[in-house]
Structure 1
Amino acid sequence: MAHWCQAAFRHIEPIIVLEQLGSSLFDTALQMVVKDRCANATYPGRSREDSQQKAMTDFYMIYNLIIQFTTIVPALLLAKFGDRGWRRAPVVVPLIGYLLSRLALLLVLTCGLPLQVMYGAAVLFGLSGGFSAYWPGVMTLASLASTAAGRSTAMMRVELLYGMAGLVGSLVSGHLFLIYSPSLRHGTILLIVSTLLHLLCLIISIILLQVKEVCREDQEENYHLLHHASRNAHVPEAAAGINKVNVALLFVAAFLYDFAVGGGVEVLGSFVLKSPLSWTATQVGYGNAAGCIIFLTSYLGVAVFRRWVSDETLILIGMLSFASGIYFMTFATTTAIFYAARSLNLFALIPMPTIRSLVSQLVPASSCGMMLTLLQITLKFASLSYIPAFTKIYQDTLDWLPGFVFLLSSIFTVLAMIPVSIVGCRTAKRQLYMRIQGD
């Protein structure tokens, strides 16, 4: 039994689960702590609730911008170390930053420190590489351990584990937040559990995590066989040289889609805390859990649809799903409407892992880590744009249509579908040309 457990923890999957469990608890705690600290904010010409919304969104804007700026250089350096053989570095180092940021919020809550301490925690988190280094590191390990034909499924499986861990963590987070005693404030137990989970995750990644790499020659041979057996398979571009046009188009699509998704989600946490929704901590946890269910439905969507459609079509299905759901979120005035809009986002998480899969197939294995990190950095530049833009638009439209930002998010998602469609057309023409040559 001990040997089986040790063997299981040598893979990346347990780390993904433990990290996301801890992060989902932290997200709920941060959301409620920020709400509590901003409750007495006042701004000239604004109601008390609008002042609270402005104070909350201003905090998140500064906090997230610090993270986005500071992660760029460390993430690139860690990706370079990873491609030179230190594959665990992009995973281990960011986990240190995760742990420190959780400890910082725990100190803010228990010691009564000012909320601005979290800006310092954001700097430490960013200097560790943050999510910009961690997630490409995870995806690189998953990519190296999979064949080219099963790359999309392998990456979507990682997303599924991430989502299911977030679902469990979100469901219990609101209840854990409410546990208190005369000596413990609301949220203390929640943050202690989150911190311990990240500590365990860091220990496992340092001591037990191993890198598994599938033989590249076998991948190429199997992939060529699969190409002749299926009309939906892609010929590995890396073997014949990088298709720079397709890579560039995929980067543009990823930028626009992340701009749309990130912009909508950026204000969603504050949106549900204001009237008419006015969610409690428990409802916040349930709402986050609803978002995590999308990981499951997106995984099932990939497993089913990829039998009949190409990866480009999969991306379009996911983008259309998000565009429709976030459009109806514009008019969410009750919790029931919120969940109805969320239900339309069933496949919204398909695009990004599928884009990563396509990009990883278009470059040599020796450059996979760097290319995925460059893609993640591209998403960081998207966040540097949408964080201030969507925050200010949301603050300026609170009086007449708070959900206006969700309408904008839907429009940008439709724009992101254009470069993906072009890639699909180019790939179809290339496959037709190669089929004619083969005949």
Structure 2
Amino acid sequence: MGQGCICPWSGPLPRLQVWTWIEPVVASTQVAASLYDAGLLLVVKASFGVGTFSNHSSSPSPRGALEDQQQRAISNFYIIYNLVMGLTPLLSAYGLGWLSDRYHRKVSICVPLLGFLLSRLALLLKVLLDWPVEMLYAAAALKGLCGGFSAFWSGVMALGSLGSSEGRRSLRLIVIDLILGLAGFCGSMVSGHLFKQMVGHSKQGLVLTACSVGCATCALLYSLFVLKVPESEPRKAVDIVPGTVGRYNTLDPDQTDKQSVVGPPSPPAMAKPRQIILALLFVGAIIYDLAVVGTVDVMPLFVLREPLSWNQVQVGYGMASGYTIFITSFLGVLVFSRCFQDTTMIMIGMVSFASGALLLAFVKETYMFYIARAIMLFALIPITTIRSAMSKLIKGSSYGKVFVILQLSLTLTGVVTSTLYNKIYQLTMEKFIGTCFALSSFLSFLAILPIG
């Protein structure tokens, strides 16, 4: 199968075999996810409204104190929610990755998509039937038991890696991330407006959650009945393309092939450096993910409270700004890979995020928030480039297991980080509300050490 069948950005389309593209699944899933994330935050905020605390209080309290109680209630909800959603995939994600390697690649995509759909339906029922907010914990558990994002994204990365030569792989994976970002940007931009469609009615958020369910349904149906698994490219068929020359030379399998022409390499000597560098990639990815997850989890709470105090539409716009890094990171890979190696690109992305997080710690006005987000323009490059480098170390038949182990490691550490950061936020929001962002900046700089 030619590369034109697999890469939507290159060449003609022989026989119009475009059904191997994973991009439609990624796009519709991410639109549903961005609508769901915004809807979940706004629904939970409405459930823990200031009026709830004033009605149950024996004495009147200042509005600032009531808002602090609301912030703690929302934070505590997300602590439990993230714990449930992060830990339950540990029971099933690796098994799905193993099944996808052994039987069919779509197993690790379709099963998580079913969990996504069920969780979106649960939020819709909560809005429609006014169920207690605690029922969303069960929805998170159901989503996790179906593999969650860990299994889904490892399946996406496996299909994205299959059929692409090693020279094109970094570009291939960053394009998938670009589609994810564009879809998330569009979904977030309209989320606030959709949530306000039924203002004044008890079913506020119904239109938003219904649209999320519709997008999740489309993704599941497409993956079941339309999506086809691409054939893998031969491992030695390296296609060097402008913009993708930067790579780990010590990890390049073709470098090994070239050396074997001159003389037989020593297998133990070759295996050890690969294992060490693979371990360093894992460590760097985990430390960096700790910083990113902590910032992303605290940011929605940060924008709801003073000094920003955003409304529904502003929350949607703020979430949309976070997805622009998918676009800028894609452009960054295209430009930087022409003159930098993978390690340099990873460090550029980490410094970009660390600088933006440090500025975010001192945000007092809305324009400052967007400046900080703009500085994070290359924040996506590190994880994507690390995945690309890892894929060059392993066989295609092991993509499912290795990618799911990486994703589970990131998820598990992310759960711990989410809990820790929420507690830190609760303790410091009345003293220095930017403490969590300053900590994330430090961790981002620390993550450079294993990579460098």
Structure-2-length-normalised TM-score: 0.87
Amino acid at match of 2:360: M
Q: 1:150 to 1:4 in 2, by over 3 A?
A: closer
Note the residue ranges of structure 2 that are not aligned, 5 or more in a row.
1-12, 257-269
Which residue of 2 is the match for residue 37 of structure 1? 47
Distance, in Å, in 2 between the alignment partners of 1:39 and 1:193 is 24
Whether 1:109 aligns to 2:127 is yes
The 5 A counterparts of 1:105-184 are 105-180=123-198
Matches within 5 A, 1:234-273: 234=249, 235-237=251-253, 241=271, 243-273=274-304
- CA RMSD, Structure 1 to Structure 2 (Å): 2.3
Q: Which amino acid aligns with 1:12?
A: I
Deviates more, 1:179-188 or 1:411-420: 179-188
The whole-number CA distance in structure 2 between the counterparts of 1:360 and 1:73 is 24
Q: 1:388, CA displacement in angstroms?
A: 1.4
Contact 1:9/1:204 (<8 A) preserved: no
Deviation per CA, 1:319-344, whole angstroms, max 9, x where unpaired? 00000001000011111110011110
How far has the Cα of 1:364 moved from its partner? 1.5
1:48-90 deviations in Å (ceiling 9; x for gaps): 1111110001101100110111001211001001111310011
Aligned partners of 2:424 and 2:412: how far apart in 1? Answer: 19
Cα distance in structure 2, aligned partners of 1:368 and 1:153: 17
Aligned partners of 1:100 and 1:121 also within 8 Å: yes
Corresponding residue number in structure 1 for 2:264: none
In the other structure, the counterpart of 2:25 is 15
Give, as a single letter, the amino acid of the residue that structure 2 aligns with 1:367.
S
- For the residues of structure 2 that align with 1:411 and 1:6, how far apart are their CA atoms? 49
| Corresponding residue of 2:73 | 55
Q: What is the letter of the counterpart of residue 336 of structure 1?
A: Y
Q: Which residue is equivalent to 2:89?
A: 71
Q: How does 1:296-315 map to 2 (within 5 A)?
A: 296-315=327-346
Q: Distance in 2 between matches of 1:49 and 1:18?
A: 35
1:184, CA displacement in angstroms?
Answer: 6.5
Structure 2 distance, partners of 1:180, 1:148, is: 50
Helix, strand or coil: the match of 1:161? Answer: helix
Which ranges in structure 1 are unaligned for 5 or more consecutive residues? 422-439
Contact 1:99 1:199 (C-alpha < 8 Å) held by counterparts: yes
Listed one character per residue, the Cα deviations across residues 90-134 of structure 1 (whole Å, up to 9, x for unaligned) are 100000000000000111111110000000001100000000100
Q: Number of paired residues?
A: 414
2:236 corresponding residue in structure 1: 220
The 5-angstrom pairing of residues 334-353 of structure 1 reads 334-353=365-384
Distance in 1, matches of 2:156 and 2:87, equals 21
Q: 1:367 aligns with which of 379, 398, 401?
A: 398
Alpha-carbon distance between aligned partners in 1 of 2:312 and 2:158, rounded to the nearest angstrom: 35
Q: Does 1:329 align with 2:360?
A: yes
Per the alignment, residue 220 of structure 2 pairs with 202
Q: CA deviation at 1:145?
A: 2.3
Secondary structure, aligned partner of 2:430: coil
Identify if the C-alpha distance between structure 1 residues 342 and 303 changes in structure 2 by more than 3 Å, giving closer, same or farther.
same
Would you say the 8 A contact 2:247–2:389 is kept in 1? no
State the identity %: 41
User: Letter of the aligned partner of 2:317 in structure 1?
Assistant: Y
Please say if residues 8 and 14 of structure 1, whose CA atoms lie closer than 8 Å, have aligned partners that are also in contact.
no
Conserved 8 A contact 2:93-2:151: yes
| Aligned residue in 1 for 2:6 | none
Deviation string for 1:394-437 (max 9, x for gaps)?
0000111111100000001111000010xxxxxxxxxxxxxxxx
Which deviates more, 238-247 or 80-89? 238-247
Partner of 1:434: none
**Separation (CA, whole Å) in 2 of partners of 1:48 and 1:274:** 11
Cα deviation per residue 1:297-337 (whole Å; 9 max; x = unaligned)? 00000011000000111100000000000100001111111
Separation in 2, partners of 1:155, 1:250: 17
User: Partner of 1:27 in structure 2?
Assistant: 37
1:411 to 1:100, Cα distance in 2 relative to 1, 3 A: same
Q: CA deviation at 1:9?
A: 4.6
> What is the aligned partner in structure 2 of residue 91 from structure 1?
109
1:327 and 1:90 map into 2 onto residues whose CA distance is 37
